[in-house]
Amino acid sequence: MRTGRLLLGTNWKMNKTIRESVDYTRRLLGLLDRFDRSDAVQVFVIPPYTAIEAVKRASEGRLWVGAQNMHWAERGAYTGEISALMLQELGVDLVELGHAERRRYFNETDADVNRKVHTALQYGFKPLVCVGEQLEDKRRGIGKETVKNQVRTIFANVETDCAPRLIVAYEPVWAIGAEHADVGIEYVREMQAYIRTSLEEMLGRSAAAMVTVIYGGDVNLRNAATLVSESGTDGLFVGRAAWEAENFAELIRASLKAIG
């Protein structure tokens, strides 16, 4: 169930200097200019903090530009953190929250992500929230329950009128960075539908229908078109397969062709 334009994006993680980021952005925009129906897709990139301002300028408003994380406090004694106030000054469109690497390496909890979601909404950002089960959850048959608990905690007390700004990225943790994860279209379809059902229980059917639910984890040029056309996703969150502008452009082209 697609809520609007197909949403396709990538997170560069701890990669790319300012110069590399600007070069990537300009090359990607030049390639997109050659596509028919490019207005059917909204593309976003999430560079390192140091490159956000430069990428925002280079994108000329054609790409959404995001941040990879954000603290929930406006200011304070939080060495090494970045606040929403700082990101607002840079013109950030969205903020990625709750990525599996933040949970694994920096001990972030669903309750932490919930606080960040509320701050992101307060400052006018689109919170892009990552949810997904571990391999052990899948093996034990509790993958759905794990994801549902994440959704219930992360979006607790979020007002229904904020639904159009919410983006949920379903990323099975066991598939992130894997070359041959073999998640399967049916599995993706089933899990994304379950996320939608969980949102309906919290926000109501009409509001939940306005939330964008996208898929990430093992997205590449080989499976992008099938995911877009058969999984019921609102878009794709691409990892290393999109770290070169030409590769990302080809993936976007394949996705556009898949939706006719």
SS3 letters for the chain?
CCCCCEEEEEECCCCCCHHHHHHHHHHHHHHHCCCCCHHHEEEEEECCHHHHHHHHHHHCCCCEEEECCCCCCCCCCCCCCCCHHHHHHHCCCEEEECCHHHHHHHCCCHHHHHHHHHHHHHCCCEEEEEECCCHHHHHCCCHHHHHHHHHHHHCCCCCHHHHHHCEEEECCHHHCCCCCCCCCHHHHHHHHHHHHHHHHHHHCHHHHCCCEEEEECCCCCCCHHHHHHHCCCCEEEECHHHCCHHHHHHHHHHHHHHCC
- For residue 88, the SS3 value is helix
Active site residues: 99, 171
Give the Cα separation of 209 and 119 in Å (integer): 23
* 43 belongs to a structural domain: yes
* 1 belongs to a structural domain: no
CATH number at residue 91: 3.20.20.70
* 148 belongs to a structural domain: yes
Domain of 115, in residue numbers: 6-258
* 96 belongs to a structural domain: yes
Q: For every one of its 260 residues, what pLDDT tens digit does the chain have, with 9 covering 90 and above? A: 455 789 999 999 999 999 999 999 999 999 999 987 778 899 999 999 999 999 999 999 999 999 999 999 999 999 999 999 999 999 999 999 999 999 999 999 999 999 999 999 999 999 999 999 998 998 999 999 999 999 999 999 999 999 999 999 999 988 876 555 678 899 999 999 999 999 999 999 999 999 999 999 889 999 999 999 999 999 999 999 999 999 999 999 999 999 87
- What's the distance, CA 113 to chain centroid? 14
Tell the residue number behind the tokens 């556009």, with chain if given: 256
Catalogue the E-assigned strands of 137-227. Answer: 167-170, 212-216
* 130 belongs to a structural domain: yes
- What's the distance, CA 249 to chain centroid? 18
Q: What is the pLDDT of residue 35?
A: 86
Q: What is the pLDDT of residue 229?
A: 94
> What is the per-residue DSSP string for 231-246?
S--SEEEE-GGGSSHH
* 163 belongs to a structural domain: yes
pTM: 0.95
Count of domains for the chain: 1
